[in-house]
Amino acid sequence: MHRKDDCIFCKIVAGEAPSAQVTEDERTLVFMDLFPVSEGHTLVVTKEHFENVFEATPEAIAAVGAMSKRIADALKAEWEPDGLSVYQANGAAAGQTVFHYHMHLMPRDAGSALTLQGRTQAASDVLADQAARIAARLVH
């Protein structure tokens, strides 16, 4: 499986860097964003390293989409947000900060700022708790 040695998401996939993990399947890994914009801000990443949508295979993108649907339903069940942003950025100009293909799922409340990255790092115990709450809501 293709990986990039200086990529933080590849390190998380390999278990070489910590993350608050929610679930995984053959092609994807799901964990909490370290700089959340809202409670429940989750990332779905490909296990294989692709820099962006242009490098990623259709199969990898389909797997991220299917997993994003599962996570979206779990977030809705757990937090009942007013809205949910599902966002995927390609290139710095588009707001991509980690150059490994990934999808953001961000519960939104009415009037909340539409930012992609929070200013402060969340505490690991808080993220672990949120990851467990989402995992408990996975129904399929």
CB nearer to Zn ion: give 26 or 80.
26
- x-or-dash pattern for Zn ion, window 3-42, by CB under 5 A? -x--x-xx--------------------------------
CB of 80 to Zn ion, least distance (A): 33
Segment contacting Zn ion by CB under 5 A, of 15-23, 77-85, 94-102, 109-117: 94-102
Of residues 37 through 76, those in contact with Zn ion by CB under 5 A are 49
Beta bridge partners of 44: 30, 103
CB of 133 to Zn ion, least distance (A): 27
89 contacts 40 by C-beta, under 8 angstroms: no
Q: For residue 79, what are its two tokens?
A: 């937090």
Q: Is 72 exposed, middle or buried (0-12, 13-18, 19+ CB in 10 A)?
A: middle
**Residue in 27, 70, 100, 104 binding Zn ion, rule: CB under 5 A:** 100
3-class secondary-structure state, position 105:
strand
CB of 137 to Zn ion, least distance (A): 27
CB nearer to Zn ion: give 49 or 70.
49
45 contacts 101 by C-beta, under 8 angstroms: yes
Sheet containing strand 102-108, edge to edge, reads 21-24, 28-32, 42-46, 102-108, 83-87
Q: For residue 15, what are its two tokens?
A: 């278990």
CB nearer to Zn ion: give 4 or 69.
4
Interacting residue ranges for Zn ion, rule: CB under 5 A: 4, 7, 9-10, 49, 100
